[in-house]
Structure 1
Amino acid sequence: MRWQRPSTLLCVFLTLLYDRLAESVVFPLLPFLVAPLLAEPSRIGLVVGLLGGSYTFAQFLATPVIGALSDHYGRRSVLVICIAGSALGISLFGIAGGLPLMFLGRILDGATGGTAATAQAVIADVTPPDRRARAFGLIGIAFGLGFMLGPGLGGLLAGINVRLPILVALGFALLNLLLAITGLKESLPPDQRQPLPTPAQLNPFRQLQRLLANPRVGGLALGFCLFFLVFNGFTTVLVPYLILSFSWRELDVGIAFCIVGVVAMLVQGGLIGPLTRRFGERRLTLGGIALVTSGCLLVPLATAGQAHLMIYSAVVLLAIGTGLVSPSLRAMISLRLDAGSQGSGLGSLQALQSLGSFIGPPLAGLIFTVFSPRTPFWWAIGALLAVGGLTTGALLRQRRQEQF
């Protein structure tokens, strides 16, 4: 019987799913892996924040380059290299006996972490504009399934051995590599490929400047960056907060992230299409920001007697809100980019997300350590209100420009 390749969208979905599984099996357990290496437990928020920041800073530097290269060489080969680098980074993290090698593994994983941005470009290549928001919802389904299955699996495995989830993460990365090599078809036709950029053009700051200077997408891209700065900041210190304030263990944390995965999968998979047709991307973005803000408010208000109820309610609101904001805002930006610039444009957008994600975790970790474990969440509420104002202002300015 002759073997047939899966459809491009199915292959992209599985690639994103395996990528998220490899990450989500380990990510919630970072505080438990780091804590035995620290002389002062109170610094756990700062160290976990720096670990998260090192990953995203490397991703920030590399992702625009990866996006531009995928516009020139095609998506498939770039995606294969990214997945292979991620597998090597997980391997280094797994054999680490101290913080230096942990940081090295995270940096390597981040530097080759263009899987999501390249997969987004594949989706843009094969999807008509009027279906793009729904197609980008596949990212949410994959991320949701990853966060539904990964943290719970990681929590169970960590009960046997705290390093066992890392071996499982490596297995997912290798499976992902096999899928990309054997199943993924090239989605970018040769006649739509862009010239190879010069080294100066590959400077991530220059590409970000070009994206932010674009009057059609600059304000929206800045709001996108700030949203993920805030979101990644408070989610990074959430687990240390729960450990220090309520003595949560691996399984408690795994359940919380499972809830995030289930809700994100339902929102971005089943609901985002109908909701987009009914309300449009702008309303969904602003409504999602309001829900994330409400979730942030519940976290510092939680008490010991109601911790599980309030935290689980908070993560439901956070998952719904993020499930609305991420694909809606990304789709608004994608629809305003030229067809030949989807790879570099979405790559730069991913780099902006990485820049925000680099600044957010160490900043939240510093606030966590210097002030109190609750303070980062109050800070996040104010910053999210600024994101809503920034996004609204950008859309209003563009509407006025189009009228004239």
Structure 2
Amino acid sequence: MQHGAPLRAGRAPPAPPGEPGRRLVLGVTYLLTALELTCLFMQFSIMPYLVKNLGLDSVGFGYLQTIFGVLQLLGGPIFGRFADQWGARAALTLSFVAGSGLYLLLSLATNVPLLVASRIPALFMHVLPGAQMVITDLTPPADRPGALGKLGLCFGVGVILGSLLGGTMSTKFGLYSPAYVAFVANVLGTAVSLTCIPANTKAASDPGPAASGKRPAASVFDLKEITRLLGLPGVRPVFFIKVLSGFPSGLFMIMFSIISMNFFELEAAQAGYLMSYFGVLQMVVQGLIIGRLTERYSEGTLLRASIVVFSAVGLAMASMTNVFHFCLLVPGLVFSLCTLNVVTDSMLTKAVPPSDTGAMLGICASVQPLTRTIGPTLGGLLYQRFGVAAFGSLQFAVNFLLFLYLCKKEVPQKTKRAP
């Protein structure tokens, strides 16, 4: 039987791993996520210099970033459907194969057409949602927010190591050296995914299409199946809260490099230290704080808290004048972002059948690419016309309205922990 292929009719699906195996699979999943995110931030660290060497200006760089965002936006829901139908192992393997293709093309990109072609595999590069699918399948609902939150440790490791290694290697060994290393790392990730992630991570009581012995009727490209999930009770309100609440801060982060240079007047090294500050705080919040909070408070309460803090940070951001003020606001901003993402992902996976959690997480994974696609243009207009204060004002207004909406809406209560 091929890896990740649906089982033939009449054959029993492989059982999900037991407790010792489950812990091992989760550990490997976190490791693979940290590996891929490190490679991704290594790539981000060299892209501006590579683009400049090939003769592209800032407009060309923006187009390249837009292509990457559009491909990720389109690929997220398709990747999620693929994971539901073929299993998490096949999905993670596909993501690492796509990553290998991207970094191989990037290492060969001595001209603009090859550089543009290197963006195409991004359509299926979705290790983070793939890891979320494995964690969602292998953890009970009550433990899910804490388990998903630990992915923040992986993200922090990726930000810090990727930025550090990318800059160091490109300086000492040449501009293309991070792409070579990332290619080898993704080939290794492909092998580990194939050997260490079980074909069936769904619960035995609901193995889903990937292990049921029958091919699903709908294709992974069926848009009706993807949009159907948004019509399920409890899905649409939470999803749109996820999109709207984090959108203003997403615009700010997209413009952060420009704001750091022009408004905060930071050098490149100082901006890097500020990004490391972000990474460390995200590791602490998602890895150590969110899991404990979910043990004591309902997801609805935490969702409200994240929106209240978002509003307060936005109000303060509208009046900040220097980088020291911003550093004081970063912990609140990181807490809100992390809590919003973890809690809404957990709530949405609980609102759909277990066989559709992959597709739901794939849709969630498209939120950030959507912001990256339309954000540069909208963020640039806001910054040019109204300055940095516009981002804080927008964040306050949007989240204050969302808080009023949540005050009138019933939200899920605390889930009892599994015995």
Please say if residues 151 and 255 of structure 1, whose CA atoms lie closer than 8 Å, have aligned partners that are also in contact: no
Q: Which residue, 290, 294, 307 being the options, matches 1:276?
A: 294
**1:140-219 equivalences in 2 (<5 Å):** 140-160=152-172, 161-186=174-199, 187-188=201-202, 192-194=207-209, 195-199=215-219, 202-204=221-223, 206-219=224-237
Query: How far apart are 1:55 and its partner, in Å?
Result: 1.9
Q: 1:273 to 1:27 in 2, by over 3 A?
A: same
Please say if residues 217 and 336 of structure 1, whose CA atoms lie closer than 8 Å, have aligned partners that are also in contact: yes
Provide the identity percentage: 23
Distance 2:62 2:314 in 1: 18
The amino acid across from 1:202 in the alignment is F
The amino acid across from 2:375 in the alignment is G
Count of paired positions: 384
Q: 1:296 to 1:83 in 2, by over 3 A?
A: farther
Please say if residues 155 and 251 of structure 1, whose CA atoms lie closer than 8 Å, have aligned partners that are also in contact: no
Query: How far apart are 1:229 and its partner, in Å?
Result: 3.8
Please say if residues 154 and 283 of structure 2, whose CA atoms lie closer than 8 Å, have aligned partners that are also in contact: yes
TM-score under structure 1 normalisation? 0.81
Q: 1:96 to 1:317 in 2, by over 3 A?
A: farther
Q: Which residue, 131, 136, 141 being the options, matches 1:119?
A: 131
TM-score under structure 2 normalisation? 0.79
Q: Deviations over 1:116-167 (max 9, x none)?
A: 2222121111111111111111221211221232223333344444544333
Distance 1:101 1:300 in 2: 42
Q: Which residue, 348, 355, 371 being the options, matches 2:363?
A: 348
Which of structures 1 and 2 has the bigger CA Rg?
2
The answer to whether 1:24 aligns with 2:41 is yes
The amino acid across from 2:202 in the alignment is L
Q: SS of the residue aligned with 2:119?
A: helix
Q: Say which structure is richer in helix.
A: 1
The answer to whether 1:76 aligns with 2:89 is yes
Q: CA RMSD in A?
A: 3.3
The amino acid across from 1:176 in the alignment is G
Distance 1:37 1:300 in 2: 38
The amino acid across from 2:153 in the alignment is I
Please say if residues 33 and 154 of structure 2, whose CA atoms lie closer than 8 Å, have aligned partners that are also in contact: yes
Which stretch has the larger CA shift, 152-161 or 175-184? Answer: 152-161
The answer to whether 1:91 aligns with 2:110 is no
Q: Deviations over 1:209-263 (max 9, x none)?
A: 3233223110111121234543433222211332345564443233222211111
The amino acid across from 1:254 in the alignment is G
Query: How far apart are 1:61 and its partner, in Å?
Result: 1.5
Please say if residues 83 and 176 of structure 1, whose CA atoms lie closer than 8 Å, have aligned partners that are also in contact: yes
The amino acid across from 1:141 in the alignment is L
Distance 2:54 2:317 in 1: 27
Please say if residues 75 and 118 of structure 1, whose CA atoms lie closer than 8 Å, have aligned partners that are also in contact: yes
Distance 1:170 1:310 in 2: 40
Q: SS of the residue aligned with 1:192?
A: coil
Q: SS of the residue aligned with 2:230?
A: helix
**Number of the residue aligned with 1:285:** 303
The amino acid across from 1:131 in the alignment is D
